[in-house]
Amino acid sequence: MVTVPGVGLSPPAAVNGFNPLLISSAFDQQAAGLLYQPLIWVTRRFHINRILSIARRITVSPGHRIFTIVLWRHWRWSDGVPVTTADVAYTYHMIQRLGPRFANYGVGGIPTDVSSFQVLGPYRLRITLKRPVNPRWFILNGLALLTPLPAAAWARVSITGLYDHLADPRFFQVVDGPFRLLTYVPGRYVTFGPNRRFAGPDKPYLHRLVMRFLHDPESIFFGLKTGKLQIADLPHELFPGRHALRGFRERTVGPVWGFNYLGFNYANPRITFVRDARVRAAMMHAIRQRLLIRVQYYGQGIRDYGPIPPQPPTYLSPLARRLERTGAYDPRLARRLLRAAGWRRGADGIREKDGHRLVFTALLSPGQIRGPTLIKDMLAKVGIDMRLREKPFNEIVAMTQGPDATKWDAIYLAWGLGVYPSARNIFACGGANNFYHYCSHRMDALLDAVPIASGKGAIYRYEDYFIKTQPLLVLPGQRHVIEARDDIHGLKRAYSSLGGFNPQYLWIARHGRTADRRPTGSGLAAGGGHP
């Protein structure tokens, strides 16, 4: 089966690495997820599937500081070695050594809130935290980071060595996930095959899975039409031509558990105006999200104004629910806010203040021009000049990440969230993923309260403060229409609303078979639940 990275998640981009310790791209994470089974398997309804998790049981002390984890004994690496607590410990200690180089450093308190990490035996370990926490927060965000990695195979490899082999198929021979890495050609494709020693309940049916690195919508559409792709998202801008795809069926998924956004570089002295919350709020009120959804996504989307996705509405505050229902579009309010901030219209309609113009340049990936062009027109109506510059995704990442990356203005991207939606790594001062150099001590205090508070009150207060101040300009969430060849089945289980991709659930029918059940006699085990 041939597909592209990011199906059901985002317009595709290349995969550049497979080591869960060293990657931050959602495309890399999706690919690495085929190789390594998680310690905690979280379902699309935010529950833990114990059968698919390596952790069998998690016990929490009465004071909510001590977490004892017991592992299943049947999981095996592809070289036959058991998966044990030594592999979990390897991951934890490597995160310690990597520090902020680990993309999710500090998420869920790993390792920043841990006072002791004790291996009590090959299948039992104990983590003691520095303070009492909300157990759900720590399990879903913290323990979920501790995907076991093959300690015996990697123990003698330095950090430099890990980076050197980030995309080397020979390095990733020992895996415990449903697939193994066969070939990788930079800039072109990656190929996976089944892990014949996979100990999980659903062994892969596919004997080859190819991800081609196609970027522009036209290539994806014609890849589907000519049969070179069997599964891919239908690019929104090419919706009118979808009837030309014969022999395919559609499945709509998402929006994924994350948000689309326009992010600003607070460290850039050319755009100091973004530090004024009134300017950011004006942008929010200037954007007509319903029009974006209709024109950019052909109706396949939902309004979103905050850091927590509207669907499922598990963590939505009353304010977020009201905005999602009624919208925030109010260009008159946007103009009033800009005038109150001291910005006045110039001769060409663009606002000016103290000799500076309200102008910035947004970086966007290829094929993403339609939505930003609409946003540009909407902002221009209230006196803001947003300029657009297309660049390959990898170049955008290189330009915007790192403490010295201060020469860019804005980026148009998407971000995936941890299951318990506290995003301290993104929005806290000095957060590991805070490439925007945003810093608010009020935001820090609100974020600090989320891990320790019971109930949803702390999440609501953080969410509402974000909505009112817009550190990043959140944009509509998009649904993805997946086109799959008629003889491919299992799509419902293969694509998670959290952005996961689980191709072990996909199978291809023999000629004439139409029932959406997996064939018997294929070496498949039943069970496992819906991821």
| Whether the predicted pLDDT of 313 surpasses 90 | no
Regarding whether 62 and 15 lie in a shared domain, the answer is no
Find out whether 123 and 70 touch, Cβ atoms under 8 Å: yes
Report the chain's mean pLDDT, rounded to a whole number.
90
Q: What is the dihedral of CA 459, 341, 271, 289, to 10 degrees?
A: 50
CATH number at 216 reads 3.40.190.10
Per-residue pLDDT tens digits for 197-209: 999 998 999 999 9
| Whether the predicted pLDDT of 517 surpasses 70 | no
Domain contains 40: no
Regarding whether 278 and 262 lie in a shared domain, the answer is yes
Q: Where are the alpha helices (DSSP H) in 356-504?
A: 370-380, 393-400, 424-427, 441-449, 457-469, 491-494
Percent of the chain with pLDDT strictly greater than 70: 95
Domain contains 42: no
Q: Which amino acid, residue 170?
A: R
Regarding whether 25 and 161 lie in a shared domain, the answer is yes
Can you tell me the distance from the alpha carbon of 294 to that of 327, in angstroms, rounded to the nearest whole number? 14
Q: Is 45 exposed, middle or buried (0-12, 13-18, 19+ CB in 10 A)?
A: exposed
What's the confidence (pLDDT) of residue 191?
98
Instruction: Tell me which of 500 and 488 has the higher pLDDT.
Output: 488
Find out whether 411 and 134 touch, Cβ atoms under 8 Å: no
Can you tell me the distance from the alpha carbon of 83 to that of 149, in angstroms, rounded to the nearest whole number? 9
DSSP 195: -
Given the DSSP bridges, would you call strands 359-364 and 410-416 parallel, antiparallel or unpaired? parallel
What domain range is 268 assigned to?
A: 258-478
DSSP 139: I
Residues 6+ apart with CB under 8 A from 336: none
Regarding whether 453 and 332 lie in a shared domain, the answer is yes
Name the band, by pLDDT with cuts 50, 70 and 90, for residue 498.
low
What's the confidence (pLDDT) of residue 329?
97
Domain contains 390: yes
Q: Could you list the beta-strand ranges (E) of 234-303.
A: 248-253, 258-264, 301-302
Nearest to residue 142, comparing CAs of 174, 116, 102, 107?
107
Domain contains 514: no
Q: Six-digit token pair at 526?
A: 């039943």
Number of DSSP helices (H) and strands (E) in the chain, helices first: 16, 23
What's the confidence (pLDDT) of residue 522?
32
Find out whether 425 and 433 touch, Cβ atoms under 8 Å: yes
Name the band, by pLDDT with cuts 50, 70 and 90, for residue 499.
low
Regarding whether 268 and 374 lie in a shared domain, the answer is yes
Can you tell me the distance from the alpha carbon of 514 to that of 4, in angstroms, rounded to the nearest whole number? 25
Regarding whether 355 and 235 lie in a shared domain, the answer is no
pTM of the model: 0.81
What's the confidence (pLDDT) of residue 529?
29
Into how many domains does the chain fold? Answer: 3
Regarding whether 334 and 270 lie in a shared domain, the answer is yes
Nearest to residue 207, comparing CAs of 30, 15, 32, 2?
2
**HEC profile of 87-104:** HHHHHHHHHHHHHHHCCC
Q: Six-digit token pair at 502?
A: 């689980």
Can you tell me the distance from the alpha carbon of 181 to that of 103, in angstroms, rounded to the nearest whole number? 23
Percent of the chain with pLDDT strictly greater than 90: 70
CA 123 to chain centre: 30
Instruction: Tell me which of 402 and 458 has the higher pLDDT.
Output: 458
Name the band, by pLDDT with cuts 50, 70 and 90, for residue 273.
very high
Q: Where are the alpha helices (DSSP H) in 381-456?
A: 393-400, 424-427, 441-449
| Whether the predicted pLDDT of 453 surpasses 50 | yes
- Where is average pLDDT lowest: 15-29, 122-136, 146-160, 508-522? 508-522
Regarding whether 458 and 421 lie in a shared domain, the answer is yes
Convert 293-305 to b/e letters by CB count within 10 Å (16 or more is b): bebbbbebbbbbb
Find out whether 84 and 140 touch, Cβ atoms under 8 Å: no
Domain contains 529: no
| Whether the predicted pLDDT of 35 surpasses 60 | yes
DSSP 402: S
Angle (nearest 5°) at CA 29 between 23 and 30 = 160
Q: Six-digit token pair at 67?
A: 């977490």
Domain boundary (117, 148, 179) is at: 148
Regarding whether 484 and 390 lie in a shared domain, the answer is no
Per-residue pLDDT tens digits for 462-472: 999 999 999 99
What's the confidence (pLDDT) of residue 510?
79
Per-residue pLDDT tens digits for 137-185: 999 999 999 999 999 999 999 999 999 999 999 999 999 999 999 999 9
What's the confidence (pLDDT) of residue 497?
64
CATH number at 448 reads 3.10.105.10
CB hemisphere CA count around 388 (13 angstroms): 18
What's the confidence (pLDDT) of residue 332?
97
Regarding whether 207 and 134 lie in a shared domain, the answer is no
Mean pLDDT for the stretch of residues 245-266: 90
Residues 6+ apart with CB under 8 A from 367: 11, 215, 216, 217, 235, 237
Can you tell me the distance from the alpha carbon of 468 to that of 448, in angstroms, rounded to the nearest whole number? 19
3-class state of residue 215 by DSSP: coil
Per-residue pLDDT tens digits for 356-379: 999 999 999 887 888 999 999 999
Q: Six-digit token pair at 261?
A: 């956004």
| Whether the predicted pLDDT of 40 surpasses 90 | yes
Per-residue pLDDT tens digits for 397-443: 888 887 677 889 999 988 878 788 878 888 989 887 888 999 999 99
Q: What are phi and psi of 116, to 5 degrees?
A: -155, 145
Regarding whether 200 and 218 lie in a shared domain, the answer is yes
Regarding whether 451 and 353 lie in a shared domain, the answer is yes
